Amino acid sequence: MTALREIVRTCSNPHVARAALASIGGEFARRFAADASRRDLPSGVLAARFVSAFAENADDEDWRRVAAATRGADQPILSGLLYILDRGLSAGTGAASRSPGNAPPAWAICASREDVRRE
């Protein structure tokens, strides 16, 4: 549970979220930055928005899934953050390959809305 609290405590800050996203790196970070750019948001702001929305609105199952993503990971905070951000991105894509049981969580849909106030 410590990793989960640390994700929320630190990555709700756009500057820390941006640095953590850079640490994740790779194709995911590029895809995330491109998505944030399409929304006319810096990637750190979008990432922090997803983390904050998760902390405020995630249900018990969401918390269990993030905990599972951190368990045994070499970098549990980045693993948990990656899970949250990936779920957040999937909410905004409307991906047709998503199965009905894997629908995006309400917190991610709310945080990914493009008509919310821009920071």
**Structural tokens at position 94:** 């409307």
70: buried, middle or exposed (CB in 10 Å: 19+, 13-18, 0-12)? Answer: buried
Domain ranges of the chain: 2-112
CB 57 within 8 A of CB 112: no
pLDDT in the model for residue 117: 43
pLDDT in the model for residue 90: 83
pLDDT in the model for residue 96: 37
* Cβ-Cβ contacts under 8 Å for 117 (sequence gap 6 or more): none
pTM, two decimal places: 0.80
End-to-end CA distance of the chain: 29
**pLDDT by position in tens, the chain (length 119):** 588 889 999 999 999 999 999 999 999 999 999 999 998 999 999 999 999 999 988 889 999 999 999 999 999 999 999 999 998 888 765 443 444 456 556 666 556 554 444 44
